[in-house]
Amino acid sequence: MIIVMRRQASPADVAGVVARLAEIGCEAHVSAGQFRTVIGAIGDREVISTLPWEAMSGVEKAVPVLKSFRFVSRDFQEEDTVIDVGDVSVGGGSFTVVAGPCAVESREQLLRTAEAVSAAGARILRGDAFKPRTSPYSFQGLGEEGLKYLVEAREKFGLPFVAEVLDSRDVGLVSSYADIIRIGTRNMSNYSLLAEVGRQPKPVMLKRGFTATLEEWLNAAEYIYKEGNHQIMLVERGIRTFETASRNTLDITAVPLVKTMSHLPILIDPSHSGGKRELVAPLARAAVGVGADGMMVDVHPAPDTAKVDGAQALLPSEFADLMESVRALAGVLGLKT
């Protein structure tokens, strides 16, 4: 932690901060410049970060040197985390494709989609039984019935599946059916839900809050990790910016940045970020180029009847076409798909 004193700070103010550091067993390195005195605090990060330095007399600001997450950082673990889901690996040199409908709407809709994405080369199925919707008047999902259809699809087509959970009280239920549990963008800062999925055994897919910084996102992963579940994959799905031409702004730079900050695998969702069908293929190809560990794509047999997010769903044939170019690009970069 670096503590920058105010211009008007007195020697007593400086001494006060130094004394406080000594109390908690930390060293203080004081550097007096012409306009400001700066105090470097050396010691246990967690202890230092709990004190309200900026509330102390004469302090202008406190700048952390280290990020606030620990276990999910590259500082803690140098090598990439690789997550095994059945015979599929996420991370470690593959480009893993997750595909399926945004929401499970019916048995037939799900099975048709699952068959198509499996044939085209997807390795994991997506499909949600619980949907968080901005408006309380929108379709909220089929619940447990949807999870049962997903199990049927897994049995028929051999694809493990990922499904979202919205409420701490449903974690056990979703975990008992799904291969991967997803935390959606709106719940990334729902800390009691994060802790709850951290206590069940299935891998967790953690979407970035559409207004979360990378540091906040990795702190959310830390909430899961510290409860004992270390199989966490991240999904970048666009952030909120001033630009309104696309639903969100895909923050593709997050991929190389996260890879320097953390050992966790990171995928891209080209469907929810852009929000429009014609943007999916270009963004998916960009995901391969930038070095993501995979992607998650919405596919629907009849998008113009979809109950959720139809505007961004690919038809099965469009998805199959996309998979061809994705495989070709991934091949050039030496990645398995």
> Where in 79-108 is the site for its own copies (CB under 8 A)?
none
Site for its own copies in 119-138 (CB under 8 A): 132-138
Min separation Cβ 254 and its own copies, Å: 8
Determine if 306 is a binding residue for its own copies (CB under 8 A).
yes
Residue nearer to its own copies on the CB measure, 54 or 108: 54
Closest CA to 212 of 181, 175, 238: 238
Q: Is 176 a residue that touches its own copies (CB under 8 A)? A: no
Residues 54, 84, 108, 145: which binds its own copies (CB under 8 A)?
Answer: 54
DSSP H helices in 59-199: 107-120, 144-157, 171-177, 191-198
CB closer to its own copies out of 120 and 183: 183
Q: Can you list the positions of beta strands (E) in 34-157?
A: 37-42, 59-63, 83-85, 88-90, 96-100, 124-126
Query: Which residue's CB is nearer to its own copies, number 69 or number 319?
Result: 69
Q: Which three-class secondary structure state does DSSP give residue 161?
A: strand
Chain positions 229 to 288 lying near its own copies, rule: CB under 8 A, are: 239-246, 249-257, 260-261, 273-274, 276-279, 282-283, 285-288
Q: Which stretch binds its own copies (CB under 8 A): 88-96, 152-160, 181-189, 199-207?
A: 181-189
Does 40 sit near its own copies (CB under 8 A)?
Answer: yes
Buried b (16+ CB within 10 A) or exposed e, 218-246: bbbbbbbbbeebbbbbbbbbbbeeeeeee
| 332 lies in the binding site for its own copies (CB under 8 A) | yes
| Contact indicator for 37, 30 with CB cutoff of 8 Å | yes
Query: What's the closest the beta carbon of residue 154 comes to its own copies, in angstroms?
Result: 26
For its own copies, which residue of 10, 176, 317, 325 counts as binding (CB under 8 A)? 325
- 6-37 per-residue burial string, b: 16 or more CB within 10 A, e: under 16: eeebeeebbebbbebbeeeebebeeeeeeeeb
| Residue keyed to tokens 């966490």 | 232
To its own copies, the closest distance from the beta carbon of 131 in angstroms equals 9
Helix/strand/coil for 274: helix
Q: Which of 111, 151, 173, 311 binds its own copies (CB under 8 A)?
A: 311
- Report if residue 309 touches its own copies, rule: CB under 8 A: yes
* Binding residues for its own copies restricted to 12-31, rule: CB under 8 A: 29, 31
Answer yes or no whether residue 305 interacts with its own copies by CB under 8 A. yes
Verify binding: residue 291, its own copies, rule CB under 8 A: yes
Options 10, 176, 211, 317; binder of its own copies; rule CB under 8 A: 211
From the list 210, 146, 209, the residue with the least C-alpha distance to 173 is 146
Spatial separation of the C-alpha atoms in residues 182 and 268, rounded to whole Å: 14
> Interface with its own copies includes 173 (CB under 8 A)?
no
